[in-house]
Amino acid sequence: MNDRTMKAVLFDRFGGPEVLYVGRVPRPEAAPGEVLVRVHAFSVNGADPATRSGTYRLLTGRRFPQGVGLDFTGEVAALGTGAAGVAVGDRVWGIVGRASGFGSAAEYVAVPADRVGLVPEGLDLIAAAALPIATTAVTALRDKAALRPGERLLVRGAAGGVGSTAVQLGTAYGAEVTGLARAANLDFVRALGARHAVDHRSVAPADLGSYDVVLDTAGTGLRAFRRLLKPGGRMVTITPDPKRLLASLGYIAASTVHGRRRVRAFSGNPRRGDFDTVARLVSEGKLSPAVDTVFPLEETAAAHRALEAGGVRGKYLVRVVEG
């Protein structure tokens, strides 16, 4: 097999999980300032089905084939000129940029050196793939919401990828955490550190009480959850409503200038310092990977189906390396 190509998960048209297949594409090279990483595993995030189905076609375009995958763990295989802070053989985790080509669902990725961090010693590289997305929770709670000890934090989607890390982080930051999840996942959410776990299907938002910070991972019903904020409260959402994309983006934008209870939104773009924060929290025992199921690369479509079916506990991971 030509060693200048690699396996990658691709799709040639927008659609359901069935459009995904494992094909071969040119293996990337590390440009100046980049590192080439041999990928061990990646996770399936909410943005992946949206990309695959065409919801984000205005951003991704219509040129095919396209790839999926946002985060990854692996080993540094090569350094581009001027790449600093890591060495060949280092165990790293990171998130690919928007111009990364085929995404992280591949045998290799080339990314800027400052977009990866070192995986803590003793943490398995496969399980570690559940944690690069924790940088989103760090940015949301530490930077955007400035969560303080003793404050009341509500996490929507508390059993999911970002939500499960947010519950752990909120607890580590000294907040009183309430997690919303399916009834079957409430014990799981409590085990993550939530003081309260509530079935989101059985309680209307208006009956949830008031909060200093609301972290939204769903993008739906933002107006109703915004009303739960105390004076001076902060709401952070990590995604617009995929079914009402333009209207949702418009509401988020309007909320940043009208009213005291503003909705903060951001697009995750972590750098090494963010990954170092996650590594420190892992080393201190305040954050750990929550892994639901690990799929082989050839079953990435099954991982997409599982995520879209709902009910995930932590992350669905895909193993790229053999064995």
Judgement on whether residues 259 and 147 belong to the same structural domain of the protein: yes
From the list 61, 62, 88, the residue with the least C-alpha distance to 76 is: 88
Give the pLDDT of residue 56: 77
- What is the domain-level CATH number for residue 167? 3.40.50.720
Domain count, the chain: 2
Give the pLDDT of residue 1: 43
SS3 category, 305:
helix
Judgement on whether residues 128 and 170 belong to the same structural domain of the protein: no
Number of Cβ within 10 Å of residue 62's Cβ equals: 10
Q: Which residue blocks in 200-320 are alpha helix, DSSP H?
A: 222-226, 245-255, 272-283, 300-309
Judgement on whether residues 125 and 274 belong to the same structural domain of the protein: yes
Judgement on whether residues 24 and 63 belong to the same structural domain of the protein: yes
Judgement on whether residues 59 and 125 belong to the same structural domain of the protein: yes
Judgement on whether residues 47 and 77 belong to the same structural domain of the protein: yes
Give the pLDDT of residue 269: 80
Residues of the chain with pLDDT under 70: 1-2, 98-102, 240-268, 323
The span from the CA of 60 to the CA of 266, in Å, is 18
Q: Are 36 and 76 in contact (CB under 8 A)?
A: yes
Judgement on whether residues 103 and 147 belong to the same structural domain of the protein: no
Q: Which of 265, 281, 297 delimits the end of a domain?
A: 265
Query: Which residues constitute the domain of residue 102?
Result: 5-132+270-319
Q: Within 13 Å and on the Cβ side, how many CA atoms surround 60?
A: 26
Using alpha carbons only, give the angle 182, 240, 98 rounded to the nearest 5 degrees. Answer: 115
Judgement on whether residues 105 and 224 belong to the same structural domain of the protein: no
Give the pLDDT of residue 136: 93
Q: What is the pLDDT of residues 222-270, one digit of tens each?
A: 889 999 999 989 999 987 555 555 544 554 554 555 555 666 666 668 9
Q: Which residue blocks in the chain are alpha helix, DSSP H?
A: 47-53, 57-60, 134-138, 161-172, 186-191, 222-226, 245-255, 272-283, 300-309
Give the pLDDT of residue 259: 52
Judgement on whether residues 221 and 291 belong to the same structural domain of the protein: no
Judgement on whether residues 139 and 82 belong to the same structural domain of the protein: no
- What is the domain-level CATH number for residue 40? 3.90.180.10
Q: Which of 247, 265, 283 delimits the end of a domain?
A: 265
Judgement on whether residues 114 and 11 belong to the same structural domain of the protein: yes
Judgement on whether residues 152 and 231 belong to the same structural domain of the protein: yes
